[in-house]
Amino acid sequence: MEAAGPWEVVEMAGQKLPGTCTLTVAPEQIRITQRIYTREQLHELWRVLPSIQEGTVRALDISHPALDVMGVRSAMLMHVTLLHPTSVQGVFEMEYDLRPVKAP
């Protein structure tokens, strides 16, 4: 697989999420779908996850070109799914549901 381009990279809580990411943005909701397809990405995911805590009371810094255009720089993590296999052999996926926090 090719290296992720800037529209497939999400940084959250100061950590770059490994693999490739896609965003679905709706009013008051952001969904990140993360795909992991190498052993190295899986090991990196286990290293990154502790800094991203579900239900945290503080907003997490978040960075992605689409969110930059919208002026969203932080979000509250509402839910994370378990890592699960996709229909593509060797590719695993998880989703993050976030609520954007706009600066006052």
Q: Are 59 and 75 in contact (CB under 8 A)?
A: yes
What pLDDT is stored for residue 50 in this prediction? 82
What pLDDT is stored for residue 51 in this prediction? 79
**Domain residue limits, the chain:** 6-101
What pLDDT is stored for residue 104 in this prediction? 61
Classify burial at 54, counting beta carbons within 10 Å of its beta carbon; exposed 0-12, middle 13-18, buried 19 or more: exposed
What pLDDT is stored for residue 101 in this prediction? 87
Task: Provide block-wise average pLDDT over 10 residues at a time, the chain (104 residues).
Answer: 78 92 92 96 91 69 91 89 94 94 72
| Cα 15–chain centre separation | 10
